[in-house]
């Protein structure tokens, strides 16, 4: 079980300054998803089977493009796999820029190890071609299969082609406002942070008209500012602000992880948590009839007799007192001192939140 606490003092947490570009981004500057359908050749019998008619048809269509006419029934597709190819087109990408490409099997191929992706067009959400992908696939796993056994590591049906994609068309994204107006979007909407960003811009650029539209957006008008948009954005994104961090405790019940900020405080609360453990054990013994019998009847035979033992351990529940204003770190230290497991600590945090004594947000994953 893993117990992790991310802690810091209240003063240092609240007074931490960050750059605007660390907590916000310029509207219109984002990545775009690209997707394509392709074929991987060169597999050593680990490709799609004949049941995948789409793969057989794709191979036949590909061969026809090279002037080879074959019937679908004559194609053995075990060395070929149909795949879905994905990539991300960065903002302001220009033709010739290289992209990392991910390749995922779409049929019943067992492994893509040793395969080569054939030239595949990558399309955007608007249906236009933005990149082409091709190259040898790097697979971080393997699979070996025999008649009655198999050995597999990681996912051999998913691989990468580093720098396997080439941008053919520039990204259609552009900064919102076309140089007259700029929108700054917060990564995590917060009214306080939006106001502080707007005030920082006003202090650094008094000639600009700045307003916080809502918790997630700050708008800057450049009607009276220089026309160099790149330099203007660079100045704004490097301004520093005091970030207001939310008081939050994150609990992962699957892994037993608790992460809390140092500014999360507790109200005065008393905690009593008991751990009842019940152990049930059954042992089976064989009972043999006494004496020696020659051709015994049906009523005389060995009998399996179960013997069940039940033991209950109900220790006295320890009482933990937490003073007003204590941190989550101090609470967990007190709970660990009375030998509570991480699962029990998570249950206690949930109960404290339900009681209204946790001054912050409890996020359960």
State the CB neighbour count (10 A cutoff) for residue 205: 17
Annotated domain spans of the chain? 18-28+175-242, 32-167, 248-275+316-364, 282-313
Helix H or strand E encompassing 82: strand 80-89
One pLDDT digit (tens) per residue for the chain, 365 residues: 444 444 444 334 445 788 999 999 888 788 889 999 999 999 988 888 888 888 888 888 888 888 888 877 777 778 899 999 999 998 888 899 999 999 999 988 888 888 999 999 999 988 999 999 999 998 876 565 554 555 555 678 899 999 999 999 887 666 655 557 788 999 989 899 999 999 999 998 888 889 999 999 998 887 645 557 778 888 888 999 998 877 777 877 777 677 776 667 776 666 665 554 545 465 667 666 666 666 666 666 667 666 656 565 555 555 666 666 677 777 777 776 666 677 777 777 777 777 777 777 777 77
Is the CATH code 3.30.1360.40 the one for domain 18-28+175-242?
yes
Residue found under tokens 């109960």: 351
Question: For residue 322, what are its two tokens?
Answer: 């937490």
Q: How far apart are alpha carbons 350 and 98 in whole angstroms?
A: 48
Q: How far apart are alpha carbons 170 and 173 in whole angstroms?
A: 9
Taking alpha carbons only, the member of 241, 177, 243 closest to residue 208 is 177
Please tell me the predicted confidence (pLDDT) of residue 364: 77
DSSP states along 127-169 = S-EEEEEEEEPB-S-EEEE-SS-EEEES-TTEEEEEEEEEE-S
Q: Are 209 and 221 in contact (CB under 8 A)?
A: yes
Please tell me the predicted confidence (pLDDT) of residue 346: 76
User: What's the pLDDT tens digit per position in 149-202?
Assistant: 555 556 788 999 999 999 998 876 666 555 577 889 999 898 999 999 999 999
Q: Are 266 and 327 in contact (CB under 8 A)?
A: yes
Q: How far apart are alpha carbons 260 and 27 in whole angstroms?
A: 31
Model pTM score: 0.63
User: What's the pLDDT tens digit per position in 220-236?
Assistant: 887 645 557 778 888 88
Please tell me the predicted confidence (pLDDT) of residue 183: 87
């Amino acid at each position: 079980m893993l117990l992790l606490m991310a802690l810091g003092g209240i003063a240092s947490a609240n007074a931490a300054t960050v750059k605007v570009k660390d907590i916000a981004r310029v509207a219109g500057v984002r990545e775009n998803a690209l997707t394509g359908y392709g074929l991987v050749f060169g597999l050593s019998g680990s490709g799609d089977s004949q049941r995948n008619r789409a793969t057989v048809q794709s191979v036949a269509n590909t061969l026809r493009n090279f002037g080879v006419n074959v019937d679908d029934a004559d194609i053995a597709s075990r060395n070929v796999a149909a795949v879905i190819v994905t990539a991300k087109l960065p903002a302001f990408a220009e033709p010739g820029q290289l992209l990392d490409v991910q390749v995922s099997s779409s049929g019943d191929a067992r492994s893509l190890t040793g395969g080569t992706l054939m030239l595949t067009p990558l399309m955007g959400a608007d249906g236009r071609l933005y990149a082409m992908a091709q190259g040898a696939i790097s697979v971080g796993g393997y699979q070996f299969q025999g008649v009655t056994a198999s050995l597999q590591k990681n996912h051999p049906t998913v691989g990468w082609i580093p720098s396997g994609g080439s941008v053919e068309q520039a990204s259609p994204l552009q900064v919102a406002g076309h140089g007259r107006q700029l929108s700054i979007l917060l990564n995590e909407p917060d009214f306080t942070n939006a106001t502080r960003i707007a005030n920082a811009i006003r202090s650094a650029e008094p000639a600009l008209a700045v307003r916080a539209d809502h918790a997630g957006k700050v708008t800057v008008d450049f009607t009276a500012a220089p026309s160099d948009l790149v330099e203007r954005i660079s100045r704004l994104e490097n301004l520093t602000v005091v970030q207001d961090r939310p008081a939050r405790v994150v609990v992962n019940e699957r892994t037993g992880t608790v992460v809390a900020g140092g500014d999360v405080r507790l109200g005065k609360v008393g905690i009593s948590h008991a751990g009842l453990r019940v152990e049930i054990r059954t042992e089976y013994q064989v009972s043999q009839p006494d004496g020696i019998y020659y051709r015994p009847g049906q009523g005389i035979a060995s009998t399996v007799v179960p013997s069940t033992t039940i033991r209950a351990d109900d220790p006295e529940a320890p009482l933990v007192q937490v003073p007003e204003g204590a941190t989550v770190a101090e609470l967990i230290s007190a709970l660990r001192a009375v030998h509570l497991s991480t699962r029990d600590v998570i249950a206690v945090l949930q109960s404290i939140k339900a009681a209204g004594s946790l001054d912050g947000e409890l996020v359960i994953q």
